[in-house]
Amino acid sequence: MTVVVKIGTSSVTRGDGLVDVDAVDRLAREVSSLRAIGHRAVLVTSGAVAAGVAALAPAGRRPSDPVTLQALASIGQHRLMRVYDDVFAAAGMVVGQVLLAPVDFAERRRYLHARDTLNRLLELGVVPVVNENDAIADDVISFGDNDTLAALVAHLLRAELLVLLTDLAGLFSADPKLEPAATLIEEVREIDHALEQAAGGPGSEAGRGGMSSKLAAAKMAAWSGVRTVIAAAERPSVLVDAVRGEARVGTIVAPRARSLPARKLWIAFALRPRGRVLVDEGARLAVVERSTSLLAAGVRRVEGAFAVDDAVEIAGPDGVVFAKGIVQLGSDRAGEWVGRRTSELPPGLADEVVHRDDLVVLATG
């Protein structure tokens, strides 16, 4: 079994931002136990920015401007990997660093190359340690958090299991830091809106993720046919127990029977929508039931400002979003194409608002 394991900033760094050697050692022992029973592990790690902050401003707060964060990531990345290299070597394992960017999942050639590299590392007995190439990422083309990256890596490798390690025992009915009576949700069959609301907002100041991002990653993995376990990084035998499906290992999110290809998975869950396109019932039915492209004739209005090749949500007459896609027509020229038949479109405009190859149906009801 191939297992993708993601560990967050709060679980791999100390309060002062320095890489927590004990935490990495604990992770190494977990991976060693997993490999001893015949499974392969790929690690997705956060912590580079926090390590960079600790190197330059130990007593300072994490900055917010993107350029400084990129610089700090480049400073912290090799510090983070140095700890991984030393600790895993002491446990008899070799690690290999792999830095990925969104384009590696969006372009077929790069996607296959990334998959081949990771698979060859596994064949060589190496433990791949994956992180986003933060030093060159930006707000538009970044993954947003490493939970998303981990779900994409699980899809890339056709992994059987995604384990999201955090500082909590799993997903709770409410925030256990605020509600002492909150209970652990042991199994999730379907991620719905109510569950997403219960997951709350962002987590610690050190990282970008939180329980909401982990649930979003689990949803992405479920649409890839991958089982997910959200569990505490400090739990003894957490990886082996997750593989075996032990009770109360954390929150187990079941996979869906139908999975999406990589490009559509990226469109559905990783691309940030820049606007919304509202369509009539006929257009909704054509997209949902006949898998057609979205044509301008079925569009009633647009919301937000979006350009060609931006991601947008697609909503029916009731305002409920049922699909998402990449547009071929921008909102700046909406007056020229909204509601018009293909034959009525001005020269130079695309025939489709969203081509079916760039469109993902998220709900059928």
> b/e for 217-235, b at 16 or more Cβ within 10 A?
bbbbbbbbbbbbbbbbbeb
Pair 216, 191: CB distance under 8 Å: no
Q: In angstroms, what CA-CA distances link 282 with 193, 290, 291, 297, 317?
A: 26, 11, 13, 10, 10
- 2-264: CATH architecture: 3-Layer(aba) Sandwich (3.40)
Q: Which residues pair with 303 in a beta bridge?
A: 276
146 Cβ neighbours under 8 A, 6+ residues apart = 6, 8, 44, 45, 46, 131, 132, 208, 209
| Residue ranges of the chain assigned to CATH 2.30.130.10 | 271-361
pLDDT at 165: 95
Tokens of 88: 């895993």
Q: How far apart are CA 325 and CA 360, in angstroms?
A: 6
Q: What is the DSSP letter of 343?
A: G
Residues 76 and 48 sit within 8 Å (Cβ to Cβ): yes
Q: Are strands 352-354 and 321-326 parallel, antiparallel or unpaired?
A: unpaired
Q: Rounded distance, CA 183 to CA 310, Å?
A: 40
CB 328 within 8 Å of CB 317: no
Tell me how crowded residue 263 is: count the other CB atoms within 10 A of its CB: 17
pTM (2 decimals)?
0.80
Residue 84 CA to residue 150 CA, distance in Å, equals 18
Cβ neighbours, 10 Å, residue 302: 21
Write out the residue limits of the CATH 3.40.1160.10 domain(s) in the chain: 2-264
Say if residues 170 and 247 touch (Cβ distance below 8 Å).
Answer: no
Give every CB contact of residue 310 below 8 A, 6+ residues apart in sequence. 273, 274, 275, 326, 327, 330
pLDDT for the residue numbered 167: 87
Q: What angle do CA 90, 46, 154 make, to 5 degrees?
A: 90
Which residue bears the tokens 């069959």?
Answer: 189
**pLDDT at res. 19:** 93
Q: What is the pLDDT of residue 365?
A: 59
How far is 188 from 294, CA to CA, in rounded Å?
A: 33
Q: CATH for 271-361, among 3.30.1510.10, 2.30.130.10, 2.30.30.220, 1.10.10.10?
A: 2.30.130.10
The whole-number mean pLDDT for each consecutive block of 10 residues of the chain, a chain of 365 residues, reads 94 88 96 96 93 79 79 91 97 96 80 94 97 68 73 92 92 80 85 66 44 84 92 94 91 84 79 92 95 96 95 94 95 94 92 94 74
Distant-in-sequence contacts of 118-121, Cβ < 8 A, 24+ apart:
118/42, 118/153, 118/156, 118/157, 119/157, 121/96
For residue 301, give both structure tokens: 């209005």
Handedness of CA 329, 335, 338, 341 (dihedral sign): negative
Q: Write phi, then psi, for 332 (nearest 5 degrees).
A: -65, -20
**Distance between CA 195 and CA 202 in Å, rounded?**
15
